[in-house]
Structure formats: C-alpha cells, structure tokens
Structure 1
Amino acid sequence: MSEPLAFLNEFPEDLRPAVEKLIISDMTTADIFIRLSSYIASLKAANSSSNTASDGSESSSKKRKLDTPAPAATSNVTTSDALLTIKDISFTAPQRKKLTLTITPTHLVAHPAGGDAEFMIELDKVGSVACLPVPDKAARQWSFCIFPAREEGKGDAEVRESIVFTVPDSAPKQGVFSGSVVGFLAEDDLKGYKSLISAVLRDALDEDTKLVISLASEFVSAIPQAHRKGEKAYHVAAHRGSKDGYLFFLETGVVFGFKRPVVLFELDRIRRVTYTSVLQRTFNVVFTVAKGGDDEEDVEFSMLDQGDYPGVDRYIKKHDLTDASLSAARKAKTELKSELVNGEIPDKEMNRIVNEVTKGIAGNRPVATSFEKMDLDDDDEEDDDFEGNASDDDIAEEYDSDVSGHTSDEEEEVDNDENVEGGEDEEEPEQEE
C-alpha cells in the first residue's frame, strides 16, 4: 500500500480494497476517509484505556458486556454492507430498548437509526439461535435468542450474555426493512418478521450453527393456554431460585427465559437429569451440566406443573439423557431421610448432618458435639426421666389458666358426687366394725 494511503490500516482488512478503489475513482473523498480514520484511531485509544484497569487487567464492566463494536465496522454495516436492516425492533437483552437490527455478512448489530452500535456480535461467534413463541401474550409474538458460542470450562455467569429481541407475528410494512438480499428472498420469506429474519440468518450463519424453533416432536405442553385457546404451548412455567420464567425443550438443548440472562443448556453439556420434590401438583427438575473437564454444576428448576411431567420425561428419554433420580447417591439420600424419621441414624452420620446443616446458621459453631447430646427419645421416656421443681398445685394452676376460670354447673355436680362417694367409702369401715 502506498504511503499516502497508509491511513487505510485503521479500517478492517476486508474493507480496505473497496475504500481504496473509491478514493482512486474520486480523490475528493480522500479527505473524508482520512478524517474518519483519525476519529477511529482516537476511539480505539479511548476504548482501550477505559477497558483496562491501572494494573493492566480488564475492568469488570468489560467482562459483563458484549464486545464493544468498532466504529469503522458500525459505519459500514449500517449502509451498503447490510444484508438486512429492520427498524424499531424491541430488544430485551442485553438492553431493554427499541433499536434498529442490522445483519451483515459478518455481524449482527443493534443500533439507533443512523447511529453507532449499542451492542453487536460476530456471526462466527454465535453458538446457536432459537426462535421461540412468547408465552402469556394475547397477540402472538416471537423471540429470537442469539446465544454466543460457549468457551470451554466456563459456566453460565462467565459466558457473554445472549442477545434477545422480539417481533410480532405479522408482515413488516414497506419502508421498515431493507437490505441487499431482500430482492432475492422467496415470497414466503417476506410474509412475516419471523420468516424474513430466519431466512437471512440461515444464509449468514455458519453451516454448523443451527437456528431452531419449538417443535411438537420435541415437546408440547399439556396445559391449555388461557389467553389463546386452542393453540398449543411449547413451554413449561418454572422458577430458578426466586426468578420465574419458562423452560423450552428444543432439539439443541433446554432454554430458560425470558428474564435476563436467557440461558441455553446444550444437550451435550447435560450429564444428568434428576426429578426432586415430586408432589401431587408440582415437581422440580435438576440439570447437572458440565463446565469443562470434570467440573459440573447443578441447576434446579422448581414448581413445574405435574401435567407436564410426561412430556418432559419423554424429551429426556428421547435424547438419552441420564435420569439420576434413582441413582445410588439419590437412593442413599432417600434412605438416610427415612432413617432420620425412624430415629435410626448412626451417631457419626448424625453428627455430620447436624454440622453441615447448622454451619451457616450458627456461624460455624457446632450445635451438637455428639449424638448422645441430641435427645431423640420418645415422649414417654422423657416423662419417666422428668424431674421438675414445680409442685402439683403449680401444674394444676398452669392448666387452669388455659380455660375460662369458672367451672360449669356440671363440673360442680361431678365434684359433689365425688365428695359424696368419698364420704361413703370412709364410712364403710365403721359399719363393718
């Protein structure tokens, strides 16, 4: 590259030939690109300093957010590079905001109309995409969930947050969308937001990156939808801790949404599935997922409707997921609980349980140092060993305080009868003499 055009190094490598060709064809544009490259360089420097702490480590704010888009990429993806641009898309993650969605050959970008990107993701770093029906809405809507590819050995909290946006179940109006591929799409692809975005994403994503939807062949709920009668539901209402949401059982894995963060548990990461707290109306399910190597974590979802148990169980068996509900470890816990009820737990085991349960509550103070200090005897044995300081009169007085304090006429008659009978008993010996 000639020295006068050295400023092109600030532009992405795939854009340099096009910019250089444009400058050669019209030298009046050179000044604009020179000023633009200077602006890009200054933003890069500012971005680098803001994302690096004084000790050279990355700041926590950078770790929590998606990669910050480069202005050069932003200025190009919103113009001639765009495969598809749609205005006024409702994003719910990582920000709740209405923005313009732009899909380029290399990026998916969210930005205000005519402005720089708010957030973006490289298409080659997308792990999978799910298009899911939004539950509990009177009007049908669809949520697109863009899940970043997972890095080996990282848990959910360490993975970049997914991008989630919602579209209505209708066709976009003319002027709302544009792009270089629009003229080449099939007529069916233009009938709705869902089909339009799906068609463009399938062409832009790598062949190994799947775009999946909810299918009845994978899971369909047995619970009727009150807001849209007659339609099938593809979700199960559940709680993860205190957070309520919905589980979707897909061909690629299990999604929990739609409150942030929306998480995907890929099938190849789910090592075991365990049913717990199976009650008459609800049950819990625990997914044991791999984090990398031998590390794993248990993720529990509670309060699933018992009516959806058969569907969830069919999904687990279809994908050969290990049901650990009757495993040796789970069985041991069940037997241990049974022994606790029967009062037959060994001393050593009881000490271990007590110390574990009370560790957080008592500030690491052991509540009982031995099993003998825990009185698990029956009430009858306690009565035999009871030695109180209170007299019988005190005890009687205590019981009397629980009632009104005035005896009824019937009670007085009973007392009188007892006194009469007692008098007769005392007189009987005198008659015998």
Structure 2
Amino acid sequence: MAAGLDSQRLDLVFQSRPDILEGIRAAADSPAKVKLFNNIASFVYDQIHTSSEPAAKRRRVEVARGDAAANGAGSEGSSNGVDASQEEVQLVVKEISVSIPQRKKFELCFTKKHLYARAPGSLSPVQGVVYTWQDIEYVFYLPVPEKAQVQHNYVLFPRGSSLASLKGSAAPDAPEPLLFTVPATAPKQGTIDGPSAAEAEAYSDAYHTLFHWALRKHLAAAGSSAEIVSADPAKFHSAIPQSHRPKERAVHVKAFRGSKDGYLFFLESGILWGYKKPLLFIPLDRVAAVSYTSVLQRTFNMVVEVFTGGDGEGKEEVEFGMVDQADHTGIDEYVKRKRLQDRSMADARKAKLELAENMRAAKKEAGEGGGGEGAAGPKVSDLEAAQMEEERRLQDEEDELEEDYNPSSDDDSGGSGESSEEDSDDEEGEDDDEDDEGEEEGEEEEGEEGEDGEEGDGDVEIEDAEVEEEKVAVKREVKREVKREVKREVKREEMTGVTQAGLAVHDEDELAGGLYERGYDEMDLEEKFDVVG
C-alpha cells in the first residue's frame, strides 16, 4: 500500500469490497491520489455513519448541512473560492473540548486562511465549524466559573455573529461562534502535530500560551485586527466570593437571560453573556443605555438597550435577570466609568420601578430645584434614589423637632449667641412684667382701699406695700432666671447631642419655688436690717 493512505478508514468503508481496496492501493502512486482516496473514504464513512442514525437526527443533520452550505461553510469548507480541506494544515491541536457549535472533542486545525475542527482520524472539516481568519471579529479568553479545576474558554465571534441572537441584528449568513475549553495544564505528549509543531513546542508550557501564540500569529498573517481580550479583576470583579477558590476574585456575575442561566462578563470592549446558546456580546459602541429594573432586596434586573441597526436608529432591549444585589455597586461603577447612559430614572422607566419612594423623591427634587442644582444634577440610579429618600425623611423628622427653636452658634460667634439669648429673655421678661404689673396694680388698689378704711395704720400699710413690691420683684426675677436656666440646659443638650427626656427631671415649679424662698429670705434679712437701722 502507498504511504499516507488511511488504511483504517479504507478497511472500514470497503471491508466488503477487497477488490476496491486492491485497486486503490495500486493506483495510489502520488500524493494527490492518496489525498483523493482518503477524502473519498472519509466521505463514504460519514455517509454510512449518518445513515445509521435515527431518522429524526438524520433530518437535523441535513438541515444543518443546508445552513452550512448557505453560510459558505459547506461540507468542503469552502470560503472565498478556497477549499479549506485542500489547504495545507500548518498546526493541529488534538483532544480539544468544543462546546459551540457542537459539543464534542475535536482536532483544531490551523491553515493559512482557515481555522476549522475535524473529527479524530478524519481529514475533512466538520460541517459548520470552519472559519476564515479575516472574518473573525472578536476573540475572548475567559475563565470557566464554578469549576474546582481551573479552566478557560476561548470564544471566537465571526463577523456579524456577536448580536445575531437579537431580532434586529440577525444576519442570515452569520456562522455560529466557536467556543472551546482548555485546562490550565500543559498539552500532553503527541497532542501537537503539523509542520509548525516544532515551533509550537516553545509555547507549549500551557494550553493558553500555545493558543495565544497560534491565534495571534494566524490573525496577524491574515491582516485581521482582532485581539485576544481577557477579563481583568483589577478593573471589574464580583463582590461575591467563590466557594471553591475563596482567595480568587471572580470576574463574572450570575445572570439569567430569559429562562437560561449564564454569566455576565464586563470587559473593556463590551459586555459578554455566556456560555449557553445563543452567545451574546454587546460592544460598547452598540450600547444605547443601561437601566435597572425589578429592584428587590436581594436581586435586580439589568436592561441594556442595544443599537441593532447600522445607522444607529434601530434599538432592542436585552434584559438580564436575577443579578445579585451585592454586585450592583461594581456594575454601576463600570457603567459610569465607560460613560454608558443610565436611564433608570427616565420617564419611560419610572412606571416600572418597584420602589415608590424613588418616584416621590424625583418629584420633590423637580419641585424644589426649579432649574437649580436639583434640576441640573446628574441622574441617579434607583438604589441611590432610595437612599436619598431615606436621608430626606430623617432630615424632615429632625426639622420638625427643631421647628420651634433654631440653635445659634454660641461657640463660633464669640458670645453673639448669649446676646441674642438675653434679648429673647428680655422680650419674655417684658411679657412677665406686664402680668406682674397687673398683679401689682391690683395689690396697690387693695392697699388704697385699706388706706381709706384705716387711716391710723398708715405707716404699717406703707411698709407692707413696700414688702409686697419687693416680693413681686423677687418673684419676677426668679421666673426670668428659671426660664434662662431652662433654655441654657436645652441648648447644651442639643449641641452635645445628648437626648434626654427634657428638663422634666427638674420640675419648673419646684425650682421656681426654691429660688423664690431663697430670695424671700434674703429680702426679709434686708428688711430687718432697714428696720433696725
């Protein structure tokens, strides 16, 4: 048999026709014929394998073939008139776990113009897993969440496929993205093959170094501007620690898209959701606005408004649900840092907000601002608005408590507060004087009546009148002193922040009574001194 023939595949296909096998061996006298016979054997083998599948699965495969042919990735992997299967394979990496578009272990083949997957032992590309280097628009290298062993996914988006799951952006000829997983270990012996295998050995310390080198090399050779983008925990990371690796900061956020659970990655070039079909990547220049809805105690939803049309007119909303409230701060910082418009408080969203306090806060700010600082300030998210509303409510309660009294800054004004205190006491003292004068006049009238009735006791009555006048003066001064003392005590408590039950501990009447008795005793001593003198 000629060297290079796939004898195993030929024996499986033509085991019932040994005459054909003999003819192939005799005719395979050149590399071109060897390649032709191997392709024929692979094609027949695939046909036999497909025919043995159930009818329902066979129909799905036929539909996939029709789609692949329409997408320019037919059974021969042709694109731009070049047959990928006819190109020389420069590098082959075996035993790679592919998840999208098909979940299976394949061999990834690197040619000058193509990247494609093929089944182990096959020479032909797998239908629908053929990509030209020039058509690859985005490349990502991201960790696989919630795995005990460290693994990473490579995600390659062909041109027009990043937003293909959106109605307004669906491109009929866009192929599916490619997603494959690599471990953190080095490739096993014998998994790297091809003419470039010797060169690749220098980058084979780990799978990611090997694929980074191979992808960058072929993308640059094809003139593609795509770069490999990775997640940077220094720029964005989740606030929720990972149970399996607590010291490692997670760069993903759990989120649902519809009924499918997945992960959000907030990258420097955009927002990626994966790793389930359909994959979605929203470039930053396609983000029209970001808003938060369904804000609950533990979770919230994030809505991203996306420009779907090339002219920027068409828009479509993508909602990611059940995002943990602990990650809101990090997401909001990312939105502000990337200058993405936050429309959480826009008119179209106010009816959807669950927190009624936010709406009341917005209306109050609109009424008080009147085009001032409140109207010109930046819009805030619903969570910040809720906090502002709570602070405003507490401030209103404090204002109600201080409604009857506005404490002055005694310490800062250097005694000006004491002056105003004396003025206020004097005003109240004048009111007390008027009351006391009324009492004094009544007492004087009684004294005059007594004087008319008893002229003989004139000196005694005059002396009694003087005593009564002294008593009234002392009583008036005592009241003033009591009020001053009460106000000073209240001010001290308010300035030191000590909240007590008030001055109810000291009854005002008892305090006044004590001062009155003390003043009256002093007056009696003076009176006695005057009499003796």
TM-score (structure 1 length as normaliser): 0.61
Q: Is the 8 Å Cα contact of residues 145 and 165 (structure 1) preserved in structure 2?
A: yes
Q: 2:176 aligns with which of 161, 164, 169?
A: 161
Alignment gaps of 5+ in structure 1 = 1-26, 47-57, 342-433
Q: Find out whether 1:199 has 2:213 as its counterpart.
A: yes
Partner of 2:125: 117
SS of residue paired to 1:278? coil
Name 1:180's counterpart in structure 2.
Answer: 195
* Deviation, structure 1 residue 309: 1.1
Q: 1:244 aligns with which of 257, 261, 271?
A: 261
Instruction: Quote the offset at 1:31 in angstroms.
Output: 7.1
Q: 1:37 to 1:114 in 2, by over 3 A?
A: closer
For the residues of structure 2 that align with 1:307 and 1:334, how far apart are their CA atoms?
19
**Counting helix residues as a fraction of each chain, which structure ranks higher?**
2
| Distance apart, 1:304 and its partner CA | 0.7
- Give the drift of 1:181: 3.4
Deviation at 1:186, TM superposition (A): 8.0
Deviation for aligned residue 1:84: 2.4
Q: Residues 183, 327 of structure 1: CA spacing in aligned structure 2 closer, same or farther, 3 A cutoff?
A: same
CA separation in 2, counterparts of 1:244 and 1:335? 23
Q: Is the 8 A contact 1:154 1:291 kept in 2?
A: no
* Residue deviations 1:307-354 (CA, integer Å, cap 9, x gap): 11111112212221111112232236559989x99xxxxxxxxxxxxx
* Equivalent position to 1:325, from 307, 329, 344: 344
Q: Which residue of 1 aligns with 2:30?
A: 29
Give aligned pairs, total. 297
| Distance in 2, Cα, partners of 1:102 & 1:151 | 21
- Assess if the C-alpha contact under 8 Å between 2:165 and 2:278 holds in 1: no
- Cα deviation per residue 1:63-90 (whole Å; 9 max; x = unaligned)? 478622526835445xxx3332111111
Q: Secondary structure at the match of 1:196?
A: helix
Q: Does 1:268 align with 2:282?
A: no
Say which one has the larger Rg. 2
3-state secondary structure, aligned to 2:134: helix
Alignment of 1:9-20 (within 5 A): none
Taking a change above 3 Å as real, the CA distance of residues 313 and 112 of structure 1, as seen in their structure-2 partners, is same
Are positions 1:137 and 2:147 aligned together?
yes
Deviation per CA, 1:246-305: give whole Å up to 9, x if none: 111112211111111222111111111111112221111011111113211111001111
Question: What residue number does 2:304 align with?
Answer: 287
Alignment gaps of 5+ in structure 2: 1-27, 48-61, 361-533
Matches within 5 A, 1:350-429: none
Aligned to 2:529: none
| Alignment check: 8 A CA contact 1:83 1:200 kept | no
Cα pair 2:162 2:281 within 8 Å, conserved: no
8 Å contact 2:76–2:84 — kept in the other structure? yes
User: 1:103: which partner in 2?
Assistant: 110
The answer as to 2:180 corresponding to 1:170 is no
Q: CA RMSD in A?
A: 3.6
Aligned amino acid, residue 113 of structure 1: P
Which residue number corresponds to residue 230 of structure 1? 247
Shift of 1:178: 2.3
Distance 2:39 2:179 in 1: 34
Higher strand fraction: Structure 1 or Structure 2? 1
Any conservation in 2 of the 1:93–1:261 contact (CA below 8 Å)? Answer: no
Deviation per CA, 1:106-158, whole angstroms, max 9, x where unpaired? 11111112312112111111111111100011101011111111179965463
Q: In the alignment, residue 250 of structure 2 is paired with which amino acid?
A: A
1:185, 1:330 → 2: CA distance? 54
Residue 68 (1) aligns with residue 83 (2): no
In the superposition, relative to structure 1, how do residues 101 and 153 fare at CA in structure 2: closer, same or farther (>3 Å)? closer
* Structure 1 residues 349-403: Cα deviation after superposition (integer angstroms, max 9, x where no partner): xxxxxxxxxxxxxxxxxxxxxxxxxxxxxxxxxxxxxxxxxxxxxxxxxxxxxxx
Q: Which amino acid aligns with 1:162?
A: P
Q: Distance in 2 between matches of 1:156 and 1:319?
A: 23
Equivalent residue letter for 2:214 = V
